[in-house]
Amino acid sequence: MQIHPTIAGFRAALKGAGRVAFVPTMGNLHEGHIALMRQARAHGDSVVSSLFVNRLQFGPKEDFGTYPRTFEADCEKMAAVGVAHLFAPDEREMYPAPQAYFVQPEPVQADILEGEFRPGFFRGVATVVMKLFAIVQPQVAVFGKKDYQQLMIIRNMAREFALPIEIVAGETVRAADGLALSSRNGYLSEAERAEAPRLYRALDGVRRALEAGERDLARLEQGAMAELRASGWIPQYVAVRKQLDLQLPAAHDSRLVVLGAALLGSTRLIDNLEV
Q: At what angle do helices 198-211 and 217-230 cross, to 10 degrees?
A: 160
Q: What is the DSSP string of 223-261?
A: HHHHHHHHTT-EEEEEEEEETTT-PPPPTT---EEEEEE
DSSP state of 81: H
Dist. CA 34–CA 53, nearest whole Å: 18
3-state secondary structure of 211: helix
Contact status, residue 228 vs residue 198, Cβ threshold 8 Å: yes
Catalytic residue among 4, 33, 43, 85: 33
Q: Which amino acid is at 82?
A: G
Catalytic residue status for 30 = no
Q: Please calculate the CA angle 81-83-84 and round it to the nearest 5 degrees.
A: 140
Annotated catalytic residues are 33
